[in-house]
Amino acid sequence: MSLFVLLATLPVATAAPEAAPDPAAASATSAPAISVPYERYTLPNGLDVILAEDHSVPFVQVNVWYHVGSRDEKAGRTGFAHLFEHLMFQGSEHANDDYFQFLSKVGGQVNGTTNLDRTNYFEGLPSAELPRALFLESDRMGWLLPALDDAKLQNQKDVVRNERRQRYDNVPYGNARILLYENLFPEGHPYHVPTIGKHEDIEAASLADVKEFFSTWYVPNNASLVVCGDFDPKEARRLIQGYFGEIPAGTKPVPRVVPPVTLDAPKRVDATDDVPFERVWLAWPSPALNAPGDAELDLLSSALSDGKDSPLYRVLVREKQIAQDVTASQASSGLQSFYMITATVAPGHTGDELVKEIDAVLADVQRRGVTADELVVARTQYEVGFYGGVATIAGKADRLNGYLHMTGEPDGFAADLARYTAATVESVNTTMRTVLGPNRLELHVKPEAAR
């Protein structure tokens, strides 16, 4: 697709923002009203459908979310949600070939992603090719299993295991992600194992196992379809009914839900890896995506570590030169999140020294609090990113599906933005002091030679 098509702007309705308040007032700003026009309906088999027209360019995005992630896997069968992200591109009964070749030859861009909470598939292509995309999505939703055999399964098991090696096992600091999840979330928790899964579970997966997983989760009444862009809604309805309408509903699966976890005491983990420098992670259990405090922690991350004048960067990297880099981030997920500070030790120093200095900076920020000026900068950075994220047809389609998945309503744009514009100095500082307490995970990954 051309860059022009990929950057196609969206028709979103906005009202003029109110005048910015005095930063010293420590009050929230008023967000512009933002709404994305859409039509929503449900097929008799339970498939949620969202249609959002945008005729600015001859481009259309088809976006399907299945409400299943790695949190829904059984013990001993981890990695299945991500494995299916691969299997879904191997061909279905009426299109039994590499999925990409059907769309790439007409200029389509195709992909899929999996995380802890959901799996999605999407294709962007010229408007005239909408029937092709809808046919292919419907065929793999309703008729994947007749084309799935042991050869395809073994091939993709090998691909997924190699992906784990490339992204986790054989990349510097890659195992840190595994250690974070294992030590923040106890055995049996839906987040204990990262989405990639375990080698032994992936290798042990049988054809019967994966067919059972598909039949449980990949049913129309556990999915939602967004068509966004340049299309005729009447024709889209006809096509969707024709392609998806005869797929039978399944038993509505129940996602796993567990109470939030806490750390009852500080926890330290030391590991070694083939890395040039020691790196440290400080991680705290934190509020789930969209829960109170989630937005405040995003804003806190910006105030703490974005830019060379941020407290963590200024003190650790510029002034004391004890760290080579430092970042703070809120890793948001549907059941629970974790807040994380990551820093790489500078030559001549140790991870223990670095942690001590991080704690000193945090203690100073907690004592004085994030300032109104820092909050204004953080909020502005977030708003720029937010509007950039919905400035394409593809971005808008994915947000519509994401809001439906997380909140039950597709048009969550204004409410999402308001979480950040409504945050105040008081709410950010209260969240910081509540979440960033003494009970945390401290992870050190050191060079193997330091053992």
pLDDT tens, residue by residue, 239-294: 999 999 999 999 999 988 899 999 999 999 999 999 999 999 999 999 999 999 99
Look up the CATH number of the domain holding residue 421: 3.30.830.10
Distance CA 201, CA 413 (A): 38
Single out the residue in 211, 244, 277 at which a domain terminates: 244
Please state the φ and ψ torsions of residue 327, each to the nearest 5 degrees. -140, 150
Is 421 inside any structural domain? yes
Give the structural domain span for 278. 267-450
Sign of CA dihedral 340, 346, 347, 349: negative
Structural domain total, the chain: 2
Is 422 inside any structural domain? yes
Is 251 inside any structural domain? no
Res 16 pLDDT > 90: no
Contact between 35 and 414 (Cβ < 8 Å): yes
Cβ-Cβ contacts under 8 Å for 241 (sequence gap 6 or more): 43
Res 10 pLDDT > 70: no
Work out the pLDDT band at 14, boundaries 50, 70, 90: very low
Is 262 inside any structural domain? no
Res 29 pLDDT > 80: no
The pLDDT value recorded for residue 387 is 94
The pLDDT value recorded for residue 449 is 74
Torsion of CA 75, 80, 81, 84, to 10 degrees: -170
Distance CA 425, CA 296 (A): 9
pLDDT in tens, 310-338: 999 999 999 999 999 999 999 999 999 99
pLDDT in tens, 129-187: 999 999 999 999 999 999 999 999 999 999 999 999 999 999 999 999 999 999 999 99
Res 227 pLDDT > 90: yes
Contact between 46 and 221 (Cβ < 8 Å): yes
Distance CA 145, CA 346 (A): 53
Do 59 and 186 lie in a common domain? yes
